[in-house]
């Protein structure tokens, strides 16, 4: 699939019992092999067009920048429109653009600038479908098989990472640089065919009109800002990818300048990264049980730093191959753990947008890091850039340790049906609003005040995550222990969506608040009157 789905520690084989998943897995393996062939060939082609380290690093920037710039947009699209159609259109556009790109290379029309532009445009198509690829997996297998499906996708992605670059390196010499681009252009047809034959299951239950695009983006941003487990994951994501991006950006120059290799050596180095990742994927469940999520990401950071040092001192292909295997194993451990940490923090209704925010942070770090290390290599040397990245990677471990990963695992994010429906005295249109909700609280005892305010602080994040534009808590000056909570929602429909978004974890928090009160809270809804 377009972007790697990461392992959760379950067996990768269980999900293949489901025919549709198995068919799509095979099709996406072929497509991913084509993508890795094209990516490896593009990196090598750029070193033939220029020796400038910064321009070479921009190949990785062109690949990752759209995923940084467009992930939020793609996440909103994933949550509000049909995922299957989005994937079909995105994969079709990728095939067309890749075909034009291949023609440019075939006829020797490509320049350094046009190479970067084509890579950027192809990556735009991938960026618009990436959250959909990850969000669609629960539709392919039962919920209890989801960890195995995610693990299988991770193994498949890394198998293609191992095969694609090595195959590209092997065929560029005898068949020419254009052949990997041609293969990539036709490799998407299998995915498109499987998608055309699939019908996504219908969602049952209460339905609302599709969210407006601008509103969906705003809700997604507010959700990410007010989700503490997700924010902790973001901090650790930056600390890992900002520095791990250095070897992805500079590997073509390591192959050409450090070990004096040709395209076959570069392909084998990329392939070795994939092999290291595949091997680590099968032992990662044991490592996860032994070290925990935080320890596994710390170990991945140490492994990446070791690989960077090996790349910097390598003078022979063997040393670079060892560095690639270490880098691949570290990469899958870091990426898998961080991705699962993000997934565990997200309920289904905002999964596409939440994944998109994670991807924005991840690929933003990759984009910024690639440009940073390329520029540093230009101003100093290739070795200096790699050594600096290794040192910074190690420094990031203690600096970010207090932001713990996978803290959303203990939360029950299934929808709760306990929030009572609002009482109305007249017909209200869905677009009417804004809606002001007030909730009056009366504390049972004065010494409950501290616990109550602490719980309301957490409840604030829940209101804003689920769609409120603003929130406040006010204390009555004339009656001790009397409080008023207020929050504003854009429309009546958006407020009804809030009722659907309340999770069991939120309900437990609300029950804790009620336990501190004298009697039940009084809930009142106000709506802006029509003229």
Please indicate, yes or no, if residue 364 is contained in any of the structural domains: yes
- The helix (run of H) or strand (run of E) holding residue 66 is helix 53-80
Please tell me the predicted confidence (pLDDT) of residue 475.
94
Can you give the residue range of the structural domain that contains 57?
14-410
Please tell me the predicted confidence (pLDDT) of residue 25.
86
Contact by Cβ (8 Å): 428, 528: no
In this prediction, residues 350-363 reach a mean pLDDT of 85
Arithmetic mean of pLDDT over the chain: 85
Please indicate, yes or no, if residue 419 is contained in any of the structural domains: no
pLDDT digits (tens, 9 = 90+) for 271-321: 888 888 888 877 887 888 888 889 999 999 999 999 999 999 998 889 999
The packing angle between helices 189-196 and 19-49, to 10°, is 150
The fraction of the chain above a pLDDT of 90, given in percent, is 30
The one-character DSSP state at 441 is: E
- Residues 338, 469 share a domain: no
Please report, for the domain that includes residue 233, its CATH number. Answer: 1.20.1250.20
- Kindly indicate the confidence band of residue 221, based on its pLDDT and cuts at 50, 70 and 90: confident
- Residues 471, 337 share a domain: no
- Residues 241, 146 share a domain: yes
- Residues 144, 45 share a domain: yes
Contact by Cβ (8 Å): 249, 370: yes
Please indicate, yes or no, if residue 423 is contained in any of the structural domains: no
- Residues 492, 455 share a domain: yes
In this prediction, residues 264-268 reach a mean pLDDT of 81
The residue count for the chain: 531
- Kindly indicate the confidence band of residue 10, based on its pLDDT and cuts at 50, 70 and 90: low
Residue 5 predicted with pLDDT over 50: no
Please indicate, yes or no, if residue 487 is contained in any of the structural domains: yes
- Residues 350, 440 share a domain: no
Contact by Cβ (8 Å): 254, 382: yes
In this prediction, residues 376-396 reach a mean pLDDT of 94
Please tell me the predicted confidence (pLDDT) of residue 3.
45
pLDDT digits (tens, 9 = 90+) for 455-489: 999 899 989 988 899 999 999 999 899 999 999 99
Last residue of a domain, one of 410, 443, 468: 410
In this prediction, residues 85-105 reach a mean pLDDT of 90
- Residues 497, 388 share a domain: no
Please report, for the domain that includes residue 513, its CATH number. Answer: 3.30.70.100
Please tell me the predicted confidence (pLDDT) of residue 209.
67
Please indicate, yes or no, if residue 499 is contained in any of the structural domains: yes
- Residues 466, 406 share a domain: no
Q: 450 or 350, which is more confident?
A: 450
**Among positive and negative, which fits the CA dihedral 133, 134, 135, 136?**
positive
- Residues 439, 406 share a domain: no
Instruction: For residue 305, give the nearest of 401, 235, 391 by alpha carbon.
Output: 391
In this prediction, residues 98-123 reach a mean pLDDT of 90
Please indicate, yes or no, if residue 143 is contained in any of the structural domains: yes
Domain count, the chain: 2
- Residues 342, 225 share a domain: yes
Please indicate, yes or no, if residue 2 is contained in any of the structural domains: no
What is the maximum alpha-carbon separation in the chain?
Answer: 87
DSSP β-bridge partners for residue 300: none
Residue 528 predicted with pLDDT over 80: yes
Please tell me the predicted confidence (pLDDT) of residue 200.
66
- Residues 450, 391 share a domain: no
How many H-runs (helices) and E-runs (strands) does the chain carry? Answer: 16, 4
- Residues 445, 361 share a domain: no
Please indicate, yes or no, if residue 1 is contained in any of the structural domains: no
């Amino acid at each position: 699939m377009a972007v790697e789905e990461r392992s959760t520690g379950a067996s990768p084989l269980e999900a293949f019992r489901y025919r549709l998943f198995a068919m799509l897995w095979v099709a996406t393996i072929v497509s991913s092999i084509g993508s890795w062939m094209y990516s490896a060939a593009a990196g090598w082609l750029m070193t033939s067009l220029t020796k400038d380290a910064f321009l070479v690093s921009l190949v990785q920037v062109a690949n990752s920048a759209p995923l940084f710039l467009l992930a939020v947009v793609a996440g909103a699209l994933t949550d509000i429109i049909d995922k299957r159609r989005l994937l079909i259109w995105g994969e079709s556009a990728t095939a067309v653009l890749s075909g034009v790109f291949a023609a440019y290379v075939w006829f020797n029309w490509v320049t350094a600038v046009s190479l970067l532009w084509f890579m950027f445009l192809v990556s735009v198509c991938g960026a618009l479908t990436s959250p959909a690829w990850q969000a669609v997996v629960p539709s392919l297998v039962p919920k209890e098989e989801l960890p195995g499906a995610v693990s299988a996708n991770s193994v498949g992605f890394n198998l293609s990472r191992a095969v694609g670059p090595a195959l590209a390196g092997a065929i560029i010499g005898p068949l020419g640089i254009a052949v990997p681009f041609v293969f990539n252009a036709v490799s998407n047809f299998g995915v498109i065919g499987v998608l055309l034959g699939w019908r996504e299951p219908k969602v049952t239950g209460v339905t609302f009109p599709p969210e407006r695009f601008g509103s969906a983006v705003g809700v997604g941003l507010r959700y990410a800002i007010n989700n503490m487990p997700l924010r902790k994951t973001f901090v650790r994501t930056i600390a890992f990818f900002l520095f791990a991006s250095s070897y992805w950006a500079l590997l073509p120059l390591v192959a050409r300048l450090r070990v004096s290799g040709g395209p076959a050596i570069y392909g084998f180095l990329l392939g070795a990264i994939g092999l290291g990742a595949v091997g680590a994927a099968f032992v990662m469940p044991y490592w996860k049980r032994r070290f925990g999520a935080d320890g596994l990401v710390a170990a991945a950071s140490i492994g990446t730093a070791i690989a960077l040092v090996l790349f910097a001192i390598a003078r022979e292909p063997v040393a670079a191959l060892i560095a690639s295997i270490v880098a691949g194993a570290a990469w899958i451990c870091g990426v898998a753990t961080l991705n699962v940490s993000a997934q565990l923090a997200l309920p289904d209704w905002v999964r596409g947008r939440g994944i998109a925010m994670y991807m924005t942070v991840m690929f933003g770090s990759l984009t910024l890091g690639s440009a940073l290390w390329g520029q540093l290599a230009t101003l100093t040397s290739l070795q200096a850039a790699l050594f600096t990245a290794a040192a910074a990677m190690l420094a990031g471990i203690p600096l970010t340790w207090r932001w713990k990963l996978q803290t959303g695992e203990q939360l029950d994010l299934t929808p709760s049906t306990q929030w009572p429906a609002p009482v109305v005295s007249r017909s209200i249109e869905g677009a009417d609003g804004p809606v002001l909700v007030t909730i009056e609280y009366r504390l049972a005892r004065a010494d409950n005040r501290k616990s109550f305010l602490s719980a309301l602080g957490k409840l604030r994040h829940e209101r804003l995550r689920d769609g409120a534009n603003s929130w406040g808590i006010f204390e009555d000056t004339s009656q001790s222990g009397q409080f008023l909570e207020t929050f504003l929602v854009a429309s009546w429909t958006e407020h009804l969506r809030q009722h659907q978004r309340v999770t069991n974890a939120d309900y437990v928090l609300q029950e804790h608040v009620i336990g501190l009160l004298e009697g039940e809270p009084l809930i009142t809804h106000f709506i802006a009157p029509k003229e």
